[in-house]
Structure 1
Amino acid sequence: MNAEENKIIHSSPATAYLNRDLSWIEFNRRVLQEAQDPDNPLMERAKFLAIVSSNLDEFISVRVAGIQDQIRAGYTKKDFTGYTPSGLHKRLVKRVSKIITDQYRAFQAISRSMHKEGIVFVDYEDLTQAQELAAEQYYRDIIYPVLTPMAVDQSRPFPLVHSQFIYLAVVLSRKGSEEEEPYFAILQIPSNLPRCIPLPHRSNSKKRQFVFIEDVIRQHIQTLFSGYDPVAVSEFRLTRNSDLTIDEEGAEDLLEEIEKELRKRRRGVPARLEVQKGIHPYALEQLQAEFEIEDFVFEIEGPLDLGFLRNFAGSLKGFSYLHYPPIVPVYPAEFDETEDFFEVLRERDVLVYHPYESFDAMTDFIIQASEDEHVMAIKMTLYRVSGNSPLIAALANAAESGKQVTVVVELKARFDEERNIAWARKLEQSGCHVVYGLVGLKTHAKITLIVRQEGTELRRYVHVGTGNYNDSTAKAYTDISLFTAHKEIGLDASELFNQMTGYSADYDWNSFIVAPTDMSQSLQALMQREAEHAQAGRPARIIAKMNSLSNQQVIDDLYSAAQAGVSIDLIVRGVCCLRPGITGLSERITVRSIVDRFLEHSRIYYFENGGNPEVYLSSADWMTRNLTRRIELMCPVHDKLIRKQIVKILEISLQDNVKSSFLQPNGYYERADDKKAPYRSQFIAMDVTRWKGSSASPSKPKPS
């Protein structure tokens, strides 16, 4: 960066920061790169393409919709990165348009590669006579009975269009009529039927052929509108504002209030309209007039909503060679030596690194506690839980057997609200004490406390995690679990649950750092301490691994530490508002993002501390919402061996030169490009001995 650019940055503070939403677009582009990468297995590329779509859906339904709300409200103030809502919205339209164009180019490339492997998406007009007869019968027997055409005219107002469902817009003319004004109707594509319908094999062909359900319906659209001629049939898809506005203080029953808001979500303000390329002008006019949307309209050249590829790729039989080889998480060797978790934890702490080590260890821990006659109480936070969680059954069993079971369920976990309501009711019915957290705060900390009677004393056993108690995502996310019976951590765990469930004054934590009370100030103090070490010539370094970095105060503190001489390595998977590489401000800071087979999700914070390192595991990213509007936890790692293991995990990430991308001062990312032998951190981490040591030789998976 030249002197003139430096002058601009220092004269305009906003240019020292990258915009959060534009940074998110760049993250989704890195996901798209995995779909474009021919070195990835073909079906994994298809899954990455599906993730790009689902990521965009959430981004638009929450972030873009929120910006549109600000524009409608006349809000014109710039954010700390220098953008007004309207200015940012214009940039987002361009960036989203570009990524959609690239996404569908990738889809065409993946489709061609699938065709070579014998997996073919067939246009309806290219069906053989036998395939056409089969498609017609499937339409008549399966599809037609569940279709509901909905006309739009003076007597029938525009029906409710659900968010993120595919519809057909149908323009019609009356048979034998010379009326110029066309007729208009819409039709929802059934979401409970397969998107891709398998076709009979052609003779002497082993190809697996599929036709899209919307193409079959379009071909038979005249069966739904007798007396009318279809002029044009085009697909469209609407994305609505999906954020919830909950008056927690005024709500007499939070659960009922959230259920009421979930019903409102179905009628959220339209935020994006996707239409099939070449849509009839009259149909587009009708849709834009109804949804009152002008500039977030995208013409799609290809099938709408590529999210279908995730299930399609995952369910297709006979093509395992087009996927990553399956890995079987090893059962942690420390717990494999004995059936008694408590016996192990009385001797040592245990680190478990998911998905390379099995989440079954966590499940078994709770099951043992639920069945142990000496366990007096189990307390646990639940943020996102899988659809059929064994943890829920274990907690219910513990309550039914007379144990004191307290579960803090976060009802406001976005898009998991309905599932969490169902779990909360089930747990209450089994006798658990279910708490919905504190007013105005989400409970995002991941912690379990087990209180056990041992002789004349009570001993506390604690699990702290960087990820949710979700056995499904634990197979696809990288997260860290710490099991410990450390006395100070146990005392802090008890106090944290007391604060979440009752009334408690400010507490002087023994080990924990907790948001929103003291995490922001503690991070500032930790970074300042590193700066003082650097200025005194002592070892000073920060390594921070997280999902997102967007809090201005944290960024400023990192800048200050770097200017004082601290070496800072940030491993930020997604959004990063810090601008690295600026002379005099951030040239000692590197930011890299790793996007690979597993979702990098663990939050690990390392402070060199003058040669006496401190390591923390956390539920919190360095975002404003985590530091001010959520109950979050940073837990120190006291055990020297485990600290060493975690540092090794960080070192493995820092050495990645295959799936790492480095953030540049201009806000874009560049892939790691060096001449060293390929080093792919997730593949290295699969060998547990690489980070845990030879004493933790991989054992056979323990049956769950």
Structure 2
Amino acid sequence: MDFLVSENRMSSIASEDRKASMEQEHPSVSACPEVPQDIDLSDSRFYLNRELSYLQFNLRVLDQARNIRHPLLERLMFLLIFSSNLDEFYEIRVSGLKKQLGFGRQRPGPDGKYPQEVLSEIHAQVRLALQEQYRILNEDLLPALADENIRFLYRHEWSDNLLEWSLEYFRNEVLPVISPLGLDPAHPFPRLVNKSLNFILSLEGKDAFGRDSGLAIVPAPRALPRLIKVPAHITPDGDNFIFLSSIIHAHVEEFFPGMKVKECHQFRVTRNSDLEMSNVEVEDVASALQGELHMRRFGAAAKLEVGAGCPAELTDFLLERFNLTEEELFRLDGPVNLQRLVALNSMVHRPELQFPPFSPGLPPALEENNCIFSAVTREDQLLLHPYQSFVPVIDWVRQAARDSGVISIKQTLYRTNESSELVEALAEAARNGKEVTVVIELRARFDEEENIQFASILQEAGAVVVYGVMGYKTHAKMVLIVRRENGRLKRYAHLGTGNYHRKNSLLYTDYSLLTCDEALCADVHKVFQQITGMGKKIAPELILNAPFKLMKGLIQLIQHEKAAAREGKAARIIAKVNALTDPVIIQELYSASQAGVRIDLIVRGICCLKPGVPNVSENIRVVSTIGRFLEHSRVYYFANAQHPLYCSSADWMERNLQRRIEIAFPILKKKWVQRILSEMEMHIQDLNQSWELQSDGSYLKLDQLDAGETADGVQNLLLNALATHATVPRR
């Protein structure tokens, strides 16, 4: 397959023609510019705030819900992803800032902002974003869905038949499982689960015991569906749905016979969900973590959401109970648990309103029933998911489990899917007598419980399971297979930028390298030794590994490009990462820019670097690709390095470079280097799915098309180039 698609857009970066073009367009590449020597590159003026940058990313996600080029149901899904992202942001990042305030540890970040200042800006921006989110829902998406005969019926739209049916549903399905809680000294305010749907009621009258506290809480159990499909015999035209909250509102007095419900309003509290385990006196990580998991549901409150009409006396009561301020209260013009609408995807069958299906491509060498060991021996294999299939990675471990020549398998697991084929294959290998060692990161956020279960399955099968190194999350993605061939042992490795998660491999863009290069595989073996054993540092030859060598290696590579620029060479850095926050790396990039290095950064999410600042970052450009797939691959390119291109599991963040076990591995085969460069250039030149970061922290959408024009974004171009049976609409 010719991977250099769109030839007029995708010329090779490494070619002499490209270098000449760069020198014409960017004279600073071939001559070091005069730069003032007294600029302090650590000055807070040159840094964007991490949390506010994340909000900018989530606003770019929300913008996809407005994008009329996306199918209608996909626009709704982007709206819900925005909600999910925002919840996690408050559960982790906002809760962390609040904790700093609680401990009196206010310290400014590299941008000079203090936590209290950042929190105030966050709440103000989120308030505006939520108003826009519900405007999109109520004014754009719901009417458009109704035009497609998909309706969400509010109580004022119910017919008599529907009202009668809803009462029957309430009495049969809702009333038996809900326990309303009247509030009085014997019934204090309950501990409500994180992100659960609840109702606060104002009551009039006395109950059978003479109580008249006037307030009650009705929690909706998570077992109840939040979205209910109306039977066709009740409302025959199209797909019609009602919300659980509407059913409870309509019949809430059934909970309180003989009393009058004056007010009934939904609310939801978002809590701190960041698990904390001290390294001190933890003998069993799995047991300690299981204890923390329960507490996650009841952490300190970070955000309160209520229905738009909830009166002040009720919101004040809730704020007091949750120890929140008015600033942390958000009134929503619709359901407070909006992301539960994701169930709609499985409740309607409307493929014309969704992204067209595709089949991930498969290189001939890796087709089903081929021996993957033979294919990798002939040539390193490179895959880009989801455009190319993740199945060969799973099949390779399966083949290894059943191959009589395979002696041992080592693998890291950070996240994997619920019924993991890889875990099954590793367990089979252990039962077949292979030496199986699995490094499971139990602290992979929100996957902790599942990972504990996988660890138990593997241990019962006879595999050796380790939980990495205390204080360092194991985030590297590696498989090492040792096989006896012709009387000697030979190593094979899979190295990736993403998780061993088959479902995510259909949604996240990630690179996979399958190799038997002796030096590279020896390095992988050394990294596994460091994780599972004890001893002094072992220095890999080719791999840059954190927390030992990656940071230092990146600085050396950046400085090498800076030196090349000063010598008049064409110097270029391209990095594709999810986030860029590390101030040391940012300062090195600023310094390289000052020396004339041309730097293109493809940063999906958080970026604390300011591009385009005079005399500091004039040679730096930052773009963000947002679309159907989550951009997840990390790739670093340094034009003048001995090994110019690395793929990695690590973002350019302090935690990845200093507090995690990560790897960056070089791509050694020239054709794969050229292919990845071509694919990154597609992101850099994209005018359909990209946004460009401005020096003030805002993003400029690079969609230069008129409403009637057609053009493929980078993700559709890659689908057409790499996937099979792709059906990509030409709009």
Task: State the TM bucket, normalised to the shorter chain.
Answer: over 0.9
Counterpart selection for 1:142 from 162, 168, 173: 173
What secondary structure does 2:194 align onto? coil
Counterpart selection for 2:253 from 208, 222, 244: 222
Q: Give the corresponding residue for 1:243.
A: 274
**1:601 is the counterpart of 2:621:** no
**1:30 is the counterpart of 2:60:** yes
Counterpart selection for 2:622 from 578, 586, 591: 591
Q: Give the corresponding residue for 2:6.
A: none
What letter corresponds to residue 720 of structure 2 in structure 1? D
The Cα of 1:536 is off from its aligned counterpart by: 0.5
Identity percentage of aligned residues? 38
Q: Give the corresponding residue for 2:598.
A: 567
Q: Give the corresponding residue for 1:692.
A: none
What letter corresponds to residue 680 of structure 1 in structure 2? G
Q: Give the corresponding residue for 1:284.
A: 315
* Conserved? CA contact 2:41–2:587, under 8 Å: no
Counterpart selection for 1:634 from 657, 664, 667: 664
Structure 2 counterparts to residues 240-639 of structure 1, below 5 A: 240-294=271-325, 295-312=327-344, 314-336=345-367, 339-609=370-640, 614-639=644-669
The Cα of 1:679 is off from its aligned counterpart by: 4.1
Gaps of 5+ in 2: 1-35, 727-731
* Conserved? CA contact 2:227–2:341, under 8 Å: no
Q: Give the corresponding residue for 2:721.
A: 688
Partner Cα distance (1:409, 1:563) in 2: 43
The Cα of 1:621 is off from its aligned counterpart by: 0.2
* Conserved? CA contact 1:580–1:589, under 8 Å: yes
Structure 1's 66 and 9: CA in aligned 2 closer, same or farther, altered over 3 A? Answer: farther
Partner Cα distance (2:328, 2:37) in 1: 36
What secondary structure does 1:427 align onto? helix
Partner Cα distance (2:710, 2:180) in 1: 59
Q: Give the corresponding residue for 1:85.
A: 115
Deviations along 1:207-251, one digit per CA (max 9) or x if unpaired, are 221111111111111111123211110000001111111013320
The Cα of 1:202 is off from its aligned counterpart by: 7.2
Deviations along 1:382-418, one digit per CA (max 9) or x if unpaired, are 0011111100100000000100000000001111111
Q: Give the corresponding residue for 1:186.
A: 217
* Conserved? CA contact 1:175–1:229, under 8 Å: no
Partner Cα distance (2:611, 2:174) in 1: 54
Q: Cα RMSD (Å) of the superposition? A: 2.1
Partner Cα distance (2:582, 2:242) in 1: 47
Q: Give the corresponding residue for 2:729.
A: none
What secondary structure does 2:615 align onto? coil
Partner Cα distance (2:235, 2:172) in 1: 28
Structure 1's 133 and 227: CA in aligned 2 closer, same or farther, altered over 3 A? Answer: closer
Deviations along 1:67-108, one digit per CA (max 9) or x if unpaired, are 011112222321111111111111111111111111111111
What letter corresponds to residue 684 of structure 1 in structure 2? L
Counterpart selection for 2:199 from 144, 168, 173: 168
* Conserved? CA contact 1:379–1:448, under 8 Å: yes
Structure 1's 59 and 467: CA in aligned 2 closer, same or farther, altered over 3 A? Answer: same
Deviations along 1:547-576, one digit per CA (max 9) or x if unpaired, are 000000000010011111100000000000
Structure 1's 269 and 698: CA in aligned 2 closer, same or farther, altered over 3 A? Answer: closer
What letter corresponds to residue 567 of structure 2 in structure 1? A
The Cα of 1:665 is off from its aligned counterpart by: 0.5
The Cα of 1:507 is off from its aligned counterpart by: 1.8
* Conserved? CA contact 2:359–2:725, under 8 Å: no
The Cα of 1:190 is off from its aligned counterpart by: 2.7
* Most deviating of 143-152 and 599-608: 143-152
Q: Give the corresponding residue for 1:694.
A: none
Structure 1's 446 and 196: CA in aligned 2 closer, same or farther, altered over 3 A? Answer: same
The Cα of 1:460 is off from its aligned counterpart by: 0.4
Partner Cα distance (2:253, 2:241) in 1: 22
* Conserved? CA contact 1:130–1:200, under 8 Å: no
What letter corresponds to residue 452 of structure 2 in structure 1? I
Deviations along 1:108-145, one digit per CA (max 9) or x if unpaired, are 11011111111111112321122122111111111111
Deviations along 1:568-626, one digit per CA (max 9) or x if unpaired, are 0000000000000111100100000000000000001111007x661101000000000
Deviations along 1:163-213, one digit per CA (max 9) or x if unpaired, are 011101111111599x99752111112322221212234789522211111
Q: Give the corresponding residue for 2:693.
A: 663
* Conserved? CA contact 2:49–2:111, under 8 Å: yes
Partner Cα distance (1:336, 1:76) in 2: 56
* Conserved? CA contact 1:65–1:271, under 8 Å: yes
What secondary structure does 1:35 align onto? coil
The Cα of 1:518 is off from its aligned counterpart by: 1.3
The Cα of 1:264 is off from its aligned counterpart by: 1.7
* Conserved? CA contact 1:332–1:361, under 8 Å: no
Q: Give the corresponding residue for 1:693.
A: none
TM-score if structure 2 supplies the norm length? 0.91
Structure number with higher relative contact order (C-alpha < 8 Å, ≥ 6 residues apart): 2
Partner Cα distance (2:197, 2:120) in 1: 26
The Cα of 1:484 is off from its aligned counterpart by: 0.2
Gaps of 5+ in 1: 1-5, 690-696
Counterpart selection for 1:105 from 107, 124, 135: 135
* Most deviating of 547-556 and 240-249: 240-249
What letter corresponds to residue 298 of structure 1 in structure 2? F
